[in-house]
Structures are given as structure tokens and as C-alpha cells.
Structure 1
Amino acid sequence: MKKNPYFKEYEFKCKCGKCELPKGVPSDELVDVLCEIRGHYNAPVTINSGYRCKEHNAEVGGAKSSQHTIGSAADFVVEGVKTEDVHQYVLEKYGNKPFGIAIKHNFENPFGGFVHIDTRGKKARWTYS
């Protein structure tokens, strides 16, 4: 993993608890984006889901071609910042980039849910239901 001031490799590991991160995961571009977001808010960023092995991805209902399975995606929250506000910032800052950007709302808790970002190489936008 690219050296950076904010994130450790273990934060991106698959939640299955059985596999190791493949070499080069997470992608350098993803780390750069997450570091920029962390710096912008000057607040901790928690990675809810980083890399996922194919088995774990299937268990959590991820798309078969999920960017999580190649280490170029993260679902995250920023401590003390409403999920919608983070999503809007990511759209404004990275909306013209060839990234996947999504939001999972938690309508009972504006700080719940998460923002998804991936460096897939083409634009994709969606909302998780």
C-alpha cells in the first residue's frame, strides 16, 4: 500500500478475516483520494469496506464485477460529518473524474450510511437502496 499519513493497510483488508490483501491493494489513486478527503475535513475517515475477496463479496451481496474485489473501491464515513455532505463534496471534487461515486442513506441518522468511491476508469453514479 502506498505510504500515506492517514491510513494503515489493515483498514482495507477483507472483512472475511481469512484472506490477505493482494499486492498493490488498495490502489495508489484510491489512497490519494481518501487522503485528500481526510485532509479536507481534518477529521478521521473510517473505511467500512475496502478490499473484498470474491467469496466475501458474494456473501454481502456485492456486484460480481465490484471494484472492491480488485482493491480500487472504499465505502467510508467521515467522523462528525453528515453522509450527505460528504457525498456532495465528493461529487463536487471528483464528479468530473472517471470514478464510481455512490451513497447509502440512513434516513434515521444523517451521520449513518456511507459514501462509496472507486477509481474504475469510467463515470458511474448510483444510490444504494
Structure 2
Amino acid sequence: MKENKYFKEDEFKCKCGKCELPKDVPSDELVDVLCEIREHYNVPITINSGYRCKEHNAEVGGAKSSQHTIGSAADFVVKGVKTEEVHQYVLEKYGDKPFGIAIKHNPKNPFGGFVHLDTRGKKARWTYS
């Protein structure tokens, strides 16, 4: 993982607890963008889901071609910032980039849910139901 002052490798490890983080995961580009978002808000970011092995990805219902399985995706929240606000910022700042950007709303908690960001190399936008 690219050296940075905000994130540790453990934050991106698969939640299965069995596998190791592959070499060069997460992608440098993903780390750079997450660091920029962290600096914009000047508060911690929690990575809910980073790399996922194929088995764990299937267990959580991830797409077979999920960017999480190659280490170029993260689902995250920004401490104390509404998820919709973070999503809008990411769309405004990175909307012209070839990234996957999505949101999972939590109707009972505006700080719940998460923003998904991946560096897939083409634009993709969606909302999780």
C-alpha cells in the first residue's frame, strides 16, 4: 500500500479474517483520493469495506466483477458528516473522473450508510437500495 499519513493497511484488509491483502492493494490512486477527501473534511474516514477476497465478496452479495476484489474500491464514511453531503462532494470533485461512485442511504440516520468509490477506469454511478 502506498505510504500516507491517514490510512493503515489493516483498514483495507478483507473482513473474512482468513486472507492476506494482495501486493499493491489498495491502488495508489484510491489512496490518493481518500487522502484528499480526508484533508477536505479534516476529520477521520472509516473504511467499512476495502479489499474483498472472492469468497467474502460472494458472502456479502457483492457483484462478481466487484472492484473490491481487485483492491480498487472502498466503502467509507466521514466522521460527523452526513453521507449525502460526502456523496455530493465526491460527485462534484471527481465526477469527471473514470471512477465508480455510489451511495447507500440510511433513511433513519443521515450519518449512516456509506459512499462507495472505486478507480475502475470508466464512469459508473448508482445508488444501493
| Shorter-chain TM band | over 0.9
Runs of 4 or more, structure 1, over 4 Å off, are none
Superposed CA deviations along residues 67-114 of structure 1, whole A, max 9, x for unmatched, are 000000000000000000000000000000000000000010000000
Q: Which amino acid aligns with 1:43?
A: V
| Identity, % of aligned positions | 90
Residue 122 (structure 1) aligned with residue 119 (structure 2): no
Q: Which amino acid aligns with 1:27?
A: S
Give the number of equivalent residue pairs: 129
Superposed CA deviations along residues 46-84 of structure 1, whole A, max 9, x for unmatched, are 000000000000000000000000000000000000000
Q: Distance in 1 between matches of 2:74 and 2:29?
A: 12
Q: Distance in 2 between matches of 1:93 and 1:14?
A: 28
Q: How does 1:26-105 map to 2 (within 5 A)?
A: 26-105=26-105
Q: Distance in 1 between matches of 2:52 and 2:117?
A: 14
Q: Which amino acid aligns with 1:50?
A: G
Which secondary structure state, in structure 1, belongs to the residue aligned with residue 103 of structure 2?
strand
Q: Distance in 2 between matches of 1:101 and 1:28?
A: 17
Which secondary structure state, in structure 2, belongs to the residue aligned with residue 10 of structure 1?
helix
Uncovered stretches (5+) of structure 1, i.e. residues with no partner: none
- Give the superposed CA RMSD: 0.2
Q: Which amino acid aligns with 1:8?
A: K
* TM-score of the aligned structures, taking structure 1 as reference length: 1.00
Superposed CA deviations along residues 24-65 of structure 1, whole A, max 9, x for unmatched, are 000000000000000000000000000000000000000000
Uncovered stretches (5+) of structure 2, i.e. residues with no partner: none
* TM-score of the aligned structures, taking structure 2 as reference length: 1.00
Q: Distance in 1 between matches of 2:106 and 2:44?
A: 20
Which secondary structure state, in structure 2, belongs to the residue aligned with residue 80 of structure 1?
coil
